[in-house]
Amino acid sequence: MIGLTIILSILPLATISLVGGLPALFLWGFLFPFLNLSQQHRLLSLAPEHANVILALNSSMLYLGIAGGAALGGIALHYIPVTQLVWLGVACLLLALLMLVLSLRVSARTVRSKGEARAEQEESVA
């Protein structure tokens, strides 16, 4: 996601120079599928017994995000020029990155507390 944020921030070069824009567009197209792949792996590791439901909800949220991004971009075009629209995308990506970091912290805390509870339970049994 960090790589996509960096690429998105240099994407305005595509409007200025074909030489600067083509590598950025190539890297964007190359890296973007890895974002969904890593998200699916993370979700499946959290609850493998509910794989069908988790992947269906993930796909639904992906499509909702695409539609919401298109709507937000359309509204933003009324207020900012198209050449500056990329900064709204960068802001959305940074917000998503922040949410990911917070989610990872909550997941780590939950796993840690479950491990401590399991250890306490094993001590009380022994």
Domain of residue 109: give its range. 2-125
Q: pLDDT tens-digit profile of 22-79?
A: 887 788 788 778 878 888 888 888 888 999 999 999 999 989 989 998 999 999 999 9
pLDDT in tens, 9-31: 777 767 777 777 788 778 878 87
68 membership: H or E segment, kind and range: helix 51-76
- The number of folded domains in the chain is 1
Q: What is the pTM of this model?
A: 0.62
Contacts (Cβ under 8 Å, ≥6 apart) of 93: 1, 4, 5, 8
Residue carrying the six token digits 């792949």: 37
